[in-house]
Amino acid sequence: MSFWKKLFGGGSAEDSAPAGDRSLGEESYKGFLIKAIEMRAGSEYQLAGTIEKDIGGELKNYKFIRADRMSSKEDLVALALSKGRQIIDEQGEGIYR
């Protein structure tokens, strides 16, 4: 049904917002800023986020998308922030290379 809504312009403005435009929550961690990003997958939310850091006066941005899906925005935020912390712990500033 969502195909027809998109084709003929139905649905709410929230449904048509591009991925990455809407931050649902954020957290500072070890000098990085982690943001949970709303990414719809049908009636569910797909795990997505960004990790930002100012390095040498330039704002670096790393976007991650995972296959995990959930029905609750709260679960999405908690898991995205957790995944962001894990990426930082494993790779640090190496994510921007």
pLDDT, average across residues 9-38: 75
pTM metric for this prediction = 0.77
The H-or-E segment that residue 7 falls in is helix 2-8
pLDDT, average across residues 2-8: 56
**pLDDT value of position 49:** 97
**pLDDT value of position 2:** 56
Domains of the chain by residue range: 19-96
| CA–CA distances in Å: residue 19 to residues 9, 53, 56, 97 | 18, 20, 28, 23
CATH dotted code for 19-96: 3.30.160
Q: Tell me the one-letter amino acid at 95.
A: I
**pLDDT value of position 19:** 47
